Amino acid sequence: MKDLIFFIKRIFLKRWILVLGMLLIIFLANYLTFTASRSLISTYQGNQENKILDQDGLFISNLDPDVEQNFDAITIEETQKVYDYLESHYEYAIDTYGFVADIPNTEDMEVSVRYINEQAYDLRDIKLSEGKQITFQDLNTVKPVLIGAGLAKEYPVGSVIEMIDPVTHQPTKLKVNGILEKNASRSNIYALNSKNYLNYSIYSPIDEEFIKQSSLDLHVNALNDLILLNSSEKEVNHLKDLIQSTTGLTFNFFSQKENDKFFKDYYMNGLQIISMLTLICFIIATGLAIWNTLISIRLMIKDFTVHLLVGLSYPRLRSILYQYFGIVFFISFSLLTIFVSVNRYSAWYRKDAIFATLGILKLIGMDWMALIIVLLIDMIMGIFIVEFMMRKIKKIPISLGVLT
């Protein structure tokens, strides 16, 4: 231990700029690896989650990005006509979000209400940590709801939440039927690596009656996320025309296969480019780390040599180098963990319910998985650097090393 401390204090830190340089390079390599790994894990999770949408006769609406839409001209009477038609002719699923309710909680978080109808609820496999799934029978008096894990302490199963409903603007009583799993999330259909977290959300069931009482916001929002079930191309096109003629809004309806194709064509392509760039950056970072190591050896060769002459052995030197780089990698890894954690905490500072996560340091499963990947790559990189260093040191004739 004393030789390790001596090496760190009296040899490595004497060239602190090299240590700092190495630390920055390793941090850069770690950050790139982490970002790419987490993005891939998140994409995989999103893909798994949305596989359920890959069904015959299922079409998902999407506001046509190529058409200029005039939302100001839409009236609630028009949108209601669309919902009346939907109700009588189609099987449709609504799972819409973006509505903020004023529900007191210790974290003072803005609570997000997600409105879901029975078809969407049946489509999704919503997992609970406590309580029971909701039913859609009687939604008129006290509505049964599911709440995020972040609200569970204040609103346990069976408790009643009173709020002004953000879409009907009426006082509403919600009965907590179940608690969602910690860090439950919903992935974006078009960007599978993007997620909304439900820790401070409420799943509120809706039916035809509720839609009738709702504001225009819900009507338009729900059309954006509308899913048609057991429909034909003809029915879909008919609805598309109806919405356009009634509200003036132009929607496209795609199957999940088509959405996947879009994802693969655009997003996945981008992701592959990012992954390639990450790999290239990682190789450059590793190259820089080796270059830095070579400079270190050149500058410290006299020190190493003198130590070898007075009793340091190569196995001991290897052990010291492993411990030293272990410390450097640990610092970099800790900085990365802190960085990711601060990033997660920022959602809490912003009181942003959609991105607020729960867990140690607010890190969630995919963060830890990506950190483990970073750790494994660090180990490989560390072994490579130390063995490379040892090879270089061993190649240098000792007495010559001292003299240069």
The burial class, CB within 10 Å (0-12 / 13-18 / 19+), for 118 is: middle
d(CA 214, CA 380): 57
123, 52 contact by CB (below 8 A): yes
How many residues touch another protein under the rule CB under 8 A: the total is 25
By beta-carbon proximity to another protein, the closer residue of 14 and 89 is: 14
Choose which of 88, 311, 349, 391 interacts with another protein (CB under 8 A): 311
Instruction: Out of 91, 107, 303, 352, point to the residue binding another protein (CB under 8 A).
Output: 303
Q: Which run of H or of E encompasses 391?
A: helix 365-395
If one asks whether residue 10 binds another protein (CB under 8 A), the answer comes out as yes
Q: Does 402 bind another protein (CB under 8 A)?
A: yes
Contact 352, 12 (CB under 8 A): no
Q: Return the number of the residue (155 or 324) whose C-beta is nearest another protein.
A: 324
**Which residues touch 285 (CB under 8 Å, ≥6 apart)?**
25, 26, 28, 29, 32
Q: Which is nearer to another protein, 124 or 392 (CB)?
A: 392
Give least dist CB 402 to another protein, A: 5
Among the listed residues 313, 334, 343, 346, the single contact to another protein using CB under 8 A: 313
Query: What distances in angstroms separate CA 47 from CA 41, 186, 194, one per listed residue?
Result: 10, 11, 11
Give the residue with the Cβ less far from another protein, 104 or 397.
397
- Shortest Å, Cβ 303 to another protein: 5
Task: Candidates 2, 234, 391, 395: give the one binding another protein (CB under 8 A).
Answer: 2
SS3 96: strand
Per CB under 8 A, contacts with another protein among 138-167 are none
199: left (phi over 0), alpha (psi -120 to 50) or beta: alpha
Minimum separation from the CB atom of position 308 to another protein (A): 7
Closest CB to another protein among residues 117, 305: 305
Nearer to another protein, 178 or 401 (CB): 401
Which among 31, 21, 12 is positioned nearest to 377, based on CA atoms? Answer: 31
Residue 299 contacts another protein per CB under 8 A = no
Closest to another protein by CB, 11 vs 375, is 11
The DSSP symbol for 310 reads T
Which residue(s) pair with 186 in the sheet? 196
Residues that bind another protein in the complex, under the rule CB under 8 A: 2-3, 6, 10-11, 14, 302-303, 306-316, 397-400, 402-403
